[in-house]
Chain A
Amino acid sequence: MNLRIIRALLKKDVKLFLNNRFYLLITILGIVFYVGAYMVLPAKQNETLRMALYAPQLPAAFLQVFGHQGFEVERFQNRDALKQAVAERAHQVGIALPEDISSVWAAGQKPQIDIFHTAGTPPEMIAAVTRLVEELSFIQTGQVLAFSIQPEILGPDMLGDQIPLRDRLRPLLVVFILLVEIMTLASLISIEIEQGTVRALLITPLRMPGLFAAKGILGAGLAFLQGVLFMLLVGGFNQSPLIVLTTLFLCSLFVVGAAFLLASLSRDVNAVTGWGLLVLIILAVPGFGAAIPGLLPAWIKIVPSYYLTDTLNRVINYAQGWQDIWLNLLIIAVLAVVLIWGGMLALRRRYQ
């Protein structure tokens, strides 16, 4: 492979990219929009615990604590009303005390206390409420674990709600920025085929590997730089920057492979746009799983981009390390290699 030739092609492609006002505009607007969206989202989660309570008889200890700041307690007349309020997310947690709680305690038995929570209620909040009930029961009865607890999840299971929404959206946004580059690169390739300029290139000393290398470097470079820029602006490198950089790099390679395939399968630029949007939507879906845990079914793992958003989510939002996400990175790397290889084979046929 001749570096001089690749440099010449890169210079040309960057020039074409910059000369195309549409690509330039959507790239800049994309970054501005995503960073803007991140900035306008609330930076902190509301710490006030909104709690629903069904308690025909409210023990004194409970009454005293629930009156304090930091609790927002609404009492309900029956269990069904309480469950509905929790399911509708009007309250994060619901506690239902049995009607005969005082007499059960008096008889030396353990009453059953039900804790209802929404799927999005973070586990630490459930644990805190459980602990609170334990403490209050101890204050009330002087006994440890003077009750049996029955937690019940209402709706889909969604973990990790404690992290501010905008931080949970970061993996989705950055992966989306990178995925848009699939369409940009595929369009550039498709235009070359459509306008016949690739024929002119390929009757020079340039060989196919050089052409693929130049396109790959351009696509990966554009995607990677945008990803890094976004993450810099939204504090995405606060946790394990090396892993984040590695993930963005592998994601950029994935983008190149997907773009090669998309360009080879599309007859013209319009087809690139049509197919590209479909691909983009499918690949963006796993990102919502990172934003709203528990929202998506387990089979979403068959969508390759799941491993990108999952890795970034676990690293930047849950401070996980290499030992936790190495398998994800390996899967992304293998997927990227397979896509690039398959894309080059398919494109080679198109070029010929």
Chain B
Amino acid sequence: MLETSIAVENLSYQYGRFKAVDDISFTVASGEILGFLGPNGSGKTTTLKMLTGQLIPQQGRVLILGHDVTKATALVRSRIGVSFEQTNLYEQMSALENLALFADLFNVKNFDGYGLLKRVGLTGREKDKVSGYSKGMKQRLMIARSIVNSPSVIFMDEPTAGLDPVSSETIGNIILEEQARGATIFLTTHDMWEADKLCQRVAFINQGKLVALDSPHNLKQRFGKRKLVAEIAKPAGGLEKREIEMDSAATASSMEALFSQEKIITLHSAEATLEEIFIQITGQRLRQ
């Protein structure tokens, strides 16, 4: 049986009369990567703040590694790592100095700054001031900082937002490496492709409520529609794209018509994306 690293019970928080998080509950198993998806203002960041002890829940509780975040804050914080959405590094210090500071705060023995920076692809720039780094480099340094204490649970808030593909891939690899090390990862993201690729399960949050929580595969099975996508040659020249639903009453006749009457150029099966499923469940897009 898998151990639980994160347990959230009936968590609520409201700013004035606005309910940012409305009675959500879920658990994350040790070594699991959970994607926490939702549009802007859906309650992702408020949830993340309560999970990391930055905000005290008005209702409910959060257990990290079995400890109540509000009661054993120092203990919990010594075993977690947090990567923020907004860059918050000491820009007038070097990457090495930034990491060394946090290694000191976490009392890391035998801290290997160079090794950590190598993992995030910052070799050769270790002693440069962070103010001279690109956005991608800063984000990679933020990731390195979040794992400086080899945390058991890592919270990542939009780690790849607005990054180039190389930086995104580097960060994706780090996430998988940390999971392989045994860390549990709580990942908030807008990027459905990233969530699909990295996460064992994804949670959809909308207007403060948890509206779905399952593996991407199961969500696609449950909410998505299987279909065939064909590219056919038009008589007048050019290509036409045609989609045929696999599970409808008209599937057989549509298939027959396709094969008998059209000149098929390509044909492949397709499944719904997480984005489409999110729209189906919530009625709105992730990016607005």
Interface contact A205-B92, CB-CB below 8 Å: no
A204 partner residues in chain B, CB cutoff 8 A: 77-78, 102, 105-106
B129 partner residues in chain A, CB cutoff 8 A: 19
* B66-119 contacts to A (CB < 8 Å): 73-74, 77-78, 80, 82, 84, 86-93, 97, 101-102, 104-107
Cβ of B53 < 8 Å from any Cβ of A? yes
Interface contact A20-B105, CB-CB below 8 Å: no
**A204 to B86 CA separation, bound complex (whole angstroms):** 17
Interface contact B106-A205, CB-CB below 8 Å: yes
Interface contact A206-B105, CB-CB below 8 Å: yes
Smallest Cβ distance from A268 to chain B, in angstroms? 15
Cβ of B54 < 8 Å from any Cβ of A? yes
Q: Mark A289-322, 1 if CB is under 8 A from B, else 0.
A: 0000000000000000000000000000000000
Which of A8, A11, A16, A206 is close to B92, meaning CB atoms less than 8 Å apart? A16
Decide if the interface of chain A is mainly helix, strand, loop or mixed. helix
Which of A15, A203, A206 is close to B54, meaning CB atoms less than 8 Å apart? A203
Interface contact B88-A196, CB-CB below 8 Å: yes
Interface contact A8-B77, CB-CB below 8 Å: no
- By a beta-carbon cutoff of 8 Å, the part of chain B in contact with chain A is 52-54, 73-74, 77-78, 80, 82, 84, 86-93, 97, 101-102, 104-107, 129, 145
- By a beta-carbon cutoff of 8 Å, the part of chain A in contact with chain B is 4-5, 7-9, 11-12, 15-16, 19-20, 195-197, 199-207
B145 partner residues in chain A, CB cutoff 8 A: 200
B97 partner residues in chain A, CB cutoff 8 A: 12, 15
> With A12-B90, A20-B92 in contact, do A199 and B105 touch (Cβ < 8 Å)?
no
Smallest Cβ distance from A31 to chain B, in angstroms? 23
Smallest Cβ distance from A349 to chain B, in angstroms? 14
**A201 to B98 CA separation, bound complex (whole angstroms):** 11
Smallest Cβ distance from A338 to chain B, in angstroms? 28
**A199 to B52 CA separation, bound complex (whole angstroms):** 11
Which of B74, B86, B87 is close to A205, meaning CB atoms less than 8 Å apart? B74
Closest to A206 in B: B105
B86 partner residues in chain A, CB cutoff 8 A: 196
Smallest Cβ distance from B80 to chain A, in angstroms? 7
Besides A4-B104, A195-B88, A196-B88, 12 other CB < 8 A contacts? A4-B107, A5-B104, A11-B104, A12-B97, A15-B97, A19-B129, A197-B90, A199-B84, A203-B53, A203-B54, A205-B105, A207-B74
Interface contact A199-B88, CB-CB below 8 Å: yes
A-B pairs with beta carbons under 8 Å apart, 28 shown: A5-B104, A5-B105, A7-B104, A8-B101, A9-B105, A11-B101, A12-B97, A15-B93, A16-B90, A19-B92, A19-B93, A20-B92, A195-B91, A196-B84, A196-B87, A199-B54, A200-B82, A201-B105, A202-B54, A203-B52, A203-B77, A203-B80, A204-B77, A204-B102, A204-B105, A205-B74, A205-B105, A206-B105
Closest to A20 in B: B92
Smallest Cβ distance from B99 to chain A, in angstroms? 12
**A18 to B174 CA separation, bound complex (whole angstroms):** 34
> With A205-B74, A205-B77 in contact, do A12 and B92 touch (Cβ < 8 Å)?
no
Closest to A203 in B: B82
**A195 to B90 CA separation, bound complex (whole angstroms):** 8
B87 partner residues in chain A, CB cutoff 8 A: 196
> With A196-B86, A200-B84 in contact, do A8 and B93 touch (Cβ < 8 Å)?
no
A12 partner residues in chain B, CB cutoff 8 A: 90, 93, 97, 101
Closest to A199 in B: B88
Rank and list the top 8 A-B pairs by shortest CB-CB distance, nearest first. A196-B88, A8-B104, A204-B105, A19-B92, A203-B82, A205-B78, A12-B101, A200-B88
**A202 to B53 CA separation, bound complex (whole angstroms):** 9
Interface contact B105-A8, CB-CB below 8 Å: yes
Q: Which of B101, B105, B145 is the most central at the interface, judged by chain A CB atoms within 10 Å of its CB?
A: B105
Smallest Cβ distance from A44 to chain B, in angstroms? 47
Closest to A200 in B: B88
Smallest Cβ distance from A75 to chain B, in angstroms? 69
A4 partner residues in chain B, CB cutoff 8 A: 104, 107
